Structure 1
Amino acid sequence: MKLTTTRSQRTNPNARNYGLRSRNIVVAAKNALKEKFSAKANGFKTVQSNTNHFSQFASFVKSNYGVNDMRNITAQHVQAYGDHLSQRIDSGSLSAKSAHDYLSAVNSVIEQARGDNGVRVTASEAGIPNRSDISTVNKATSTQQHKHVVANVNERLSAQLDTQRELGLRFEEAAKFDAKSALDEANKTQQVTISDGTKGGRDRYVPITQQSQIDAIKGAADIQQSDRSMIPSNMSYAEYQQQSYRELSQHQNYHSHGERHAFAQHVYQNEWAKQSGVPDIKPPVVAGFDHGCRHHQYLAEKTQMTPNEAKAMDQEVRSIVAEQLGHSRIDITNYYLG
């Protein structure tokens, strides 16, 4: 059989998986990549590696959205997958470079299958930092976007997103959050312990420094009622995650992980204000300066410190941010702060 090179050359281009000669979405993806190989648009090794990368996406959309036909894949599905990859970067299970490779494979396969780039999502749009792991684009969810989303999702998910923003929680941590116990702890000790769903199962402690944090925890506790966490007692975590992802996918360009970015930036600015007495000191990704010397110069000018003193203070503040995010490495803050 002569290999096709474009969608228009296929016998049934509007059939399941755009007529790529298989009902299996991963096999169809490999056939799409073989078309690109036939057109000399990629090499044989690329066919193999991109098929493997695409299979991860196929598993994600099937388990979370029940999608097993390329014709049903939307840009929202790819956006949600980008959010999933961002959370893997955060947890340390995936590098930014690998995340770029995974997303690139998805775009490559789907563009070839469809014959257009109608569902293409860039790494920046998906909330993935550049390959150096240093963000140059602010990925924090804005206050306006947060308010819009929480007003238009179910009340349980709305409360969960509030705790993600106020306490810096990952999606899994927020879903498994026992808000009722946390409310008691916060009122007694002015901190909350995050234990379920954490990276490596390691506890971390988030200080309670403002009323909005208490309000978010109380709102979640009121909805939790007799359940053990934010996950309804009649659902597994996987089922609740799938339901939530489906609902959030309706909000274009929204990533729940952006709430954690907002938290990290808030802690950074608050710590600088506390330690220097100067308000409104911004991290590189917000201030618009490159990570490193240019930002240290900005900090020095704002605080009347020397650049070396500003650099040392910046490292100290970043260590506090990293600790509250549940990381032992300061360099992870490059992902949130630039």
Structure 2
Amino acid sequence: MARNFGIGTRDLAEAGRQFLSRGVAQKNLSFASSATVSARWRQFAAYAKSHGVGSLTTVTPDLVRAYGRELSAKVAAGKMSAAYAHNLVSATNTVMRATPAPWQPVQAVADCGIGRRSFVRTMAPAGLDPERFAVARSALLAAQNARGAALAGLARHLGLRSKEAALLNAKRALQEAERHGHVTITLGTKGGQSRTVPITSPHQVTALREAGQVQGAHHNLIPQNMSLRQWQKPLGQIRNTIRDVTGKGLHDLRAAYACERYRQLTGHDAPVVAGRMVASRAADYAARLRIGEELGHHRVDVVSSYVGGARMSYKIVTEVEQLTVGYVRRGGKDNRRQQRARILAFATFCATLGARNMTEVGHRHVKLYWRTIVHRSTRTRYAHWLALRDLWTLAGKSGSPMPPPSEGD
């Protein structure tokens, strides 16, 4: 058998990247997801090489299990989060499934002993403290790292991921913010899906202005003589400087943005800050829905990893997840994934109202749900209705859900 299944390179890391690129061309994977998986795959490739394995044809489930057990040890020692370890194992499975040979996926929990991921934040983000954030920015500036200070400002005040912040044309974004009251994020987003971030604070305008000054004549924060891949090294230095001051990295600044927005939207501190949920369930859900959109997530439950959990029964969500297992396999995958996310968002909303299963869901739940997304465009609300209609069919409910009210109703 040809080395690396004849992909055209003898390098294990590069071979994996090329198979992922094929997946993008076949529309089985988004470009952004491919880049993320490729970066994680390189870590496995280095591990495999150190164990005498340099070809995809000789990668075995046993090797991946051994890799996973090493990751598990790092999690146990506090050197790595369980979530990241899961992602590394998942990336390896993704690459191996993309090759011509059949592959039996390795399970992070059952096969490698990696602890289950918890998506509920239990500690308030350090970046929420203005003084600690100011000290972190000062440390970056003292290290002659104005780009890092600007990137941190975009993460903290606009909730941008590090890649989004690095690729943002801050000058153009500032013009959009001043003219339209929001900023459109298109580059570096998860799944390649654009979103808008509202301008609700003068700190956001300041962050954009400072980033624009650092950017200079270039179109983003990455130096002109540096590729995105080369940028990863200085980005790591930025993360380390912030972590030295706050104890957390750039992602923690996104959580600080989310908690700040939660207070703006509900008038109450986020559960992770207050220690419990103070806002009403309806207000809490509506805030989570908005924050999820602004952070670039399509699942409301993911917001718990930023603002803390809302104590409610998620039995109905589990039921709906099971109902929609095969849903994405039919039709356009990207559209089906988005529609499934909308279905799960509705299920989570019903859970906030006390619904335990789909049998208990009816007209009242749908009517109240429309109120939480009244700010959406007519087209988007219609897409949500199509998602609910599919849910009605999957759950065996009679009739159809009520449509969203038209403009002015």
TM-score in terms of structure 2 length: 0.49
Match in the other structure for 1:248:
239
Match in the other structure for 2:18:
none
Cα deviation 1:257-282 (Å, max 9, x = unaligned) = 11100000011000012xxxxxxx11
Match in the other structure for 2:282:
312
**AA of the residue aligned to 2:293:** E
Aligned pair in 2 of structure 1 residues 176, 54: CA closer, same or farther (>3 Å)? farther
Match in the other structure for 1:287:
274
8 A contact 2:126–2:132 mirrored in 1: no
TM-score in terms of structure 1 length: 0.58
State which of 246, 254, 265 in structure 2 corresponds to 1:271: 265
Q: Which has the higher contact order (CA 8 A, sep 6+)?
A: 1
Match in the other structure for 2:179:
188
For the aligned residues, what is the CA RMSD? Answer: 4.0
Cα deviation 1:38-75 (Å, max 9, x = unaligned) = xxxxxxx99852414658999xxxxxxxxxxxxxxxx9
**AA of the residue aligned to 1:171:** S
State which of 299, 311, 315 in structure 2 corresponds to 1:329: 299
Displacement after TM superposition at 1:254 (Å): 2.7
1:99, 1:269 → 2: CA distance? 36
1:140, 1:103 → 2: CA distance? 32
Aligned pairs for 1:116-135 (under 5 A) are 131-135=117-121
1:239, 1:135 → 2: CA distance? 32
8 A contact 2:68–2:112 mirrored in 1: no
Displacement after TM superposition at 1:83 (Å): 11
Match in the other structure for 2:138:
151
8 A contact 1:204–1:324 mirrored in 2: yes
Displacement after TM superposition at 1:131 (Å): 2.8
Match in the other structure for 2:47:
26
8 A contact 1:29–1:54 mirrored in 2: no
Cα deviation 1:94-146 (Å, max 9, x = unaligned) = 9xxx99999987xxxxxxxxxxxxxxxxx9xxxxxx73422222234232332
1:83, 1:226 → 2: CA distance? 41
Cα deviation 1:62-92 (Å, max 9, x = unaligned) = xxxxxxxxxxxxx9xx86x659939x79xx9
2:161, 2:305 → 1: CA distance? 14
Match in the other structure for 1:162:
153
Aligned pair in 2 of structure 1 residues 27, 180: CA closer, same or farther (>3 Å)? closer
**AA of the residue aligned to 1:324:** E
Aligned pair in 2 of structure 1 residues 135, 185: CA closer, same or farther (>3 Å)? same
Structure 2 residue runs of 5 or longer lacking an equivalent are 1-44, 53-60, 94-106, 309-409
2:111, 2:187 → 1: CA distance? 28
2:156, 2:113 → 1: CA distance? 29
**AA of the residue aligned to 2:146:** E
Aligned pair in 2 of structure 1 residues 235, 48: CA closer, same or farther (>3 Å)? closer
Match in the other structure for 2:67:
51
The count of corresponding residues between Structure 1 and Structure 2 is 231
State which of 205, 212, 217 in structure 1 corresponds to 2:208: 217
